[in-house]
Structure 1
Amino acid sequence: MRRTASPLSLALLGAGVFLLVLAPMLAWYVEPRAKRTPVDVDVTTVFTGTGSYFDTTEIRTVTSKRLTITRQVRGDVADSEKSGRAIWDVSTSVDTDATLPAADTHDSLQWTLERWVTDRRTNEPVHCCGEKPAFDGEAYLKFPFDVQKRSYRWWDNTLGSTVRLRFAGVRRIQGYEGYRFTGSVEPTRTGTRLVPGRLVGLPKRGQVLAEEWYANHGIELVVDRRTGRIVNAAIGPRKTLRAPGGKRDKVVLLDSRRLEFTPPTQRAQVELASGDSDRLELVGETLPVGGGAAGALLAAAGAVLVVRGREPRATTPVVAM
């Protein structure tokens, strides 16, 4: 008698083969394409801490004051889709209690507007689409996907150059583990500013081009390993003025040992990082591994049933009388 495969065996075999084909496609095709910097972002992060700043109303540096840095990142979806790049507009303000909340950003102690353009896959800077200012490095508002335990070149916009951040172990933020990177900036001249001579120790001169100097006591970033999202950031900026050719700081414009993400900002960043990381893990590891294992079992079971086949029902022969 000829054996025939049952519908169940064929269904099991088909499902198993489908899962075996789908599993590597998820890992090798879908997941890499899911690792793209998003363009529809609208995220606000807030740093707080204490420090000193030059009070223009009192014409002197005041100390031990609360400082707040507010950074808003908005993606330009239209330009991003047109160019194929990730285009983010970044507004950053530094405020004191007297200027927070500011009705106008120009009332802030300091305010900048930047346009950040990157390759969506590599996170490398792309010099197009109205980028301002031109920048370099591997990281700024985020790190590349699949962060490694190595040093990264982080762009410091105040310095106008990159800073080497070294891997410094792991740290938990709001219960979530990330890679920790640290660095600092030695005092560096960054430009000039026209000020009254008396401000920088030259009372006999009316106006002078004072030298602007910048340093950073310490930079600490905690980064989600899978997505490169920064879940906590702490910086220690110091901006000063020196007399032309001077060796010492004469005026402190801004100085803080540590300005750090507020707890609400940390929680929001952790939530975003955790959600994105879970989705990447699902399509890159969980589904391929689980689907491959299930596909192998189903295909094997279906193949066994197909080989064994099914006995057809016996029929009673008709005997001619």
Structure 2
Amino acid sequence: MRRVVGFVLLGLGVFAVALGLLLRFWAYPQLAKAPLDTKSTSVAEGTGITALVIKTVDGTPSPEVEDDLNVRSTTYVTGDLTQPEVKADGDIAAYVEAIKTVDESTGITINATVRELCFDRFSGEAVAPCEGQYVEVEKGKRETPTKRGVVQQPGLSFKFPFGVDQQDYRFYDLQVRKAVKAKYVGEDTIQGLDVYKFVMDVPNTRIGEEEVPGSLVDEPDEPSVDADLYYKGKRTLWVEPSTGVIVLGQQEMTQELVPPGKEPGEGTVVFNGTLRLNDKTVSDFVRQAEDAKSQLQLLTMWPIVMWIVGGVLAAVGLFLLFLGFGRGESGMADGVPPRERQPVGASG
């Protein structure tokens, strides 16, 4: 009986260890991937914003800088399954991101951008080749890479990797068109969810040139002026570490038009303020992160439990088998028959 129990425990132990390995090294990589066919909407809001608003006066566009605006920025992200790099069981996803920022009181669009890129579904890093990648910050002027195999929008964009570490990462900044350092600054809690906090600081940087009316940059005698556009900003992201989901984002930014002969700080501020994801968006992202986190925990914590329990069961099973082989079921040494007891005084 002892041997039977030993074999059963040994088998259960080996099975538990094998199942744990299967969950951790096969099932987990299959689950820890960003979805291909995603659809999400997020809304960031800000008050007391200074922004350049293009109004129409007598049928003519009239740019004006206005203060104390309530601004809403809506971001739509959708998966593009038509790209050749995207396979049903593959590691590459392609997402399209469209952002529209409006003055809430008038509905006038302050700015709008569209972009597409391919990225690794586990690490979140942009990858190439990616035939469909582009950036469009001005309607009708789509920018694409000049060479095949170039990562146009390097770094992270839509999420952090699964299993975020307490370290710095590279995150793409659409304003300066490059990846900037997302510095890890500590832990935090958002709506009861434990998160990591990352901060990106971009110093005053020239990001382009705009032809604008001279009156807009304090040069009323000039009908138009080619002014440099400068940007500086601070972006803060709160990330659930198991899933890499960004549950809260906030961006403080300033844009300034600087005409020839002047320095940054002497021009016309055309945007200044802070946009932050609203409560509804944050609640949605927190719920998504919690759901994904609970699924991943089944594939990260349970394998450890299975390895421990399986190891104990296997060890006990081997111990019982060792005893069983060392001694017979009667408790005597194997191969030695028990002596027959005879009554006292009996003769052979």
> Same fold per TM (> 0.5)?
yes
Distance (Å, rounded) in 2 between the aligned partners of 1:245 and 1:298: 80
User: Percentage identity across aligned positions?
Assistant: 27
- CA 1:77–1:12 in structure 2 vs 1: closer, same or farther (change >3 Å)? farther
Distance (Å, rounded) in 2 between the aligned partners of 1:235 and 1:23: 42
Tell me which amino acid in the other structure corresponds to 1:267.
S
Q: TM-score, normalised by structure 1?
A: 0.83
Structure with larger RCO (C-alpha < 8 A, sep 6+): 1
In the alignment, which residue of structure 1 is the partner of 2:292? Answer: 276
Q: How many residues in Structure 1 have an aligned counterpart in Structure 2?
A: 299
Residues 128-147 of structure 1: pairs in structure 2 closer than 5 A: 128-133=130-135, 135-147=152-164
Give, in angstroms, the shift of residue 245 of structure 1: 4.4
- CA 1:112–1:99 in structure 2 vs 1: closer, same or farther (change >3 Å)? farther
In the alignment, which residue of structure 2 is the partner of 1:85? Answer: 92
Give, in angstroms, the shift of residue 89 of structure 1: 0.7
Kept in 2: contact 1:178–1:223 (CA 8 A): yes
CA deviations 1:137-189 (Å, max 9, x no partner) are 43222112222222222211011122222111111111111111113222211
Tell me which amino acid in the other structure corresponds to 1:161.
K
Kept in 2: contact 1:170–1:178 (CA 8 A): yes
Kept in 2: contact 1:138–1:144 (CA 8 A): no
- The answer to whether the aligner puts 1:228 opposite 2:239 as a matched pair is no
* Residue in structure 2 matching 1:62, options 66, 78, 85: 66
In the alignment, which residue of structure 1 is the partner of 2:343? Answer: none
RMSD across aligned positions (CA): 2.5
Residues 214-225 of structure 1: pairs in structure 2 closer than 5 A: 214-216=231-233, 218-225=234-241
Kept in 2: contact 1:199–1:250 (CA 8 A): no
Q: Which deviates the most, 164-173 or 299-308?
A: 299-308
CA deviations 1:210-250 (Å, max 9, x no partner) are 2111111x211111112211111110122221213421443
In the alignment, which residue of structure 2 is the partner of 1:114? Answer: 115
SS at match of 1:109: strand
Tell me which amino acid in the other structure corresponds to 2:254.
R
Kept in 1: contact 2:119–2:125 (CA 8 A): yes
Q: Which deviates the most, 165-174 or 8-17?
A: 8-17
Give, in angstroms, the shift of residue 310 of structure 1: 7.1
Give, in angstroms, the shift of residue 123 of structure 1: 2.1
- CA 1:96–1:24 in structure 2 vs 1: closer, same or farther (change >3 Å)? same
CA deviations 1:259-281 (Å, max 9, x no partner) are 11111111111111122222222
Distance (Å, rounded) in 1 between the aligned partners of 2:22 and 2:268: 60
Kept in 1: contact 2:53–2:63 (CA 8 A): yes
* Residue in structure 1 matching 2:227, options 205, 210, 213: 210
Give, in angstroms, the shift of residue 293 of structure 1: 2.8
Q: Which deviates the most, 198-207 or 90-99?
A: 198-207
* Residue in structure 2 matching 1:289, options 304, 318, 325: 304
In the alignment, which residue of structure 2 is the partner of 1:96? Answer: 103
Distance (Å, rounded) in 1 between the aligned partners of 2:104 and 2:313: 65
Distance (Å, rounded) in 2 between the aligned partners of 1:42 and 1:159: 26
Give ranges in structure 2 of 5+ residues lacking alignment: 56-61, 136-150, 331-348
- The answer to whether the aligner puts 1:21 opposite 2:18 as a matched pair is yes
Distance (Å, rounded) in 1 between the aligned partners of 2:240 and 2:155: 15
- The answer to whether the aligner puts 1:260 opposite 2:276 as a matched pair is yes
Q: Which deviates the most, 157-166 or 131-140?
A: 131-140
In the alignment, which residue of structure 2 is the partner of 1:158? Answer: 175
SS at match of 1:77: coil
Kept in 2: contact 1:135–1:155 (CA 8 A): no
Tell me which amino acid in the other structure corresponds to 2:22.
M
Distance (Å, rounded) in 2 between the aligned partners of 1:39 and 1:249: 46
Give, in angstroms, the shift of residue 12 of structure 1: 4.2
CA deviations 1:69-123 (Å, max 9, x no partner) are 11111112343227751111111111111354xxxxxx62211111021122332
SS at match of 2:68: strand
